[in-house]
Structure 1
């Protein structure tokens, strides 16, 4: 549930701070009062497309911040997304912010830490549904159907346990695959070393043989000179 919304220098809004309570909240006003702009700001906060035209005239950047209370039904999925990026702080509260600068740069933050726009969008699918013309509904997202069924059947805890077991199983499989790869590499290394040993044994090397070979090479390299000196000596 959205608890607080802060919008600054966005479209025609200079500075807006909304504190929302429980229950049903209605915004009313004549055309052009800015009702749709609040919805637009929410969409930007949750990963919607934005450009520099959203920045209020005369300002350098627009800032949108929201504080959400995490309902028990969505906590497991939201926590999973946050933990994957090491962004989980308060298990019951989530703070999102997005700064849109006039030069086109966007800065997204989750719980005070810089995050990607894609991460905001992923979280937004769990936090807010926008019901309106040409807007998506969670009922129409096929990926949400299994979550709805699980919530209806009160299977969230069972699914969380299954997910934990599945992650453990996947980790064990990865470790097993790594061990098998290591075993194969060790076997190849052993074959290579056996081949090297066979080559060394076939060479029948002798102690200090290298020194003798070096001396022999020197004699052969100077064979012609030695022969000439031998003839002269005779």
Structure 2
């Protein structure tokens, strides 16, 4: 077994970069994720192409704990780790595999005026999996009538809780008959998040770029998921 001296490892981590630092300031004007976007895009592409998800996909948020200096750092009081970088995640229900993921970088200038953030996120995450009769499960932040109509036009259904302030939902439709199927399909992102926390290889750093790289390295945890896929549903795994 080969080993690396501690000082050598620390030296590599101190000088580690994932882009051209000379052009970073220019690229950051249009892409806040520029410092790591090349590595991140490759990771997401592999997530999308390496596995064929089942009928049910769950969309939720995940907070990657971090207190590094970062313009899009989030504070979420309800999370175990209050500070971190937020991601929108789409996971397969049965395997808990990450099908698609987007970082939340603040206000997106490319989002059409008048379009809700929640609808934009769901449509972007589900784009590779639409028109195939799937169902997406969301919480009340995402669920809306207009989103359901958009998905239905793409042969996709939605199951989720609805915020009481949504005036578009008639009183006659406000019932709890869907609680059982919703509870059965809402947990995949939460389970994935627990797995990442359990098997994380994250180390402390003051630079969010290194933090994010270690988050990507949490793919080590996902190998457990892929192994589970090969054992339980091998016809869906694309040798990821």
| TM-score (norm. length: structure 1) | 0.22
| TM-score (norm. length: structure 2) | 0.22
- Quick check: which has more Rg, 1 or 2? 1
| Higher RCO (C-alpha under 8 Å, 6+ residues apart) | 2
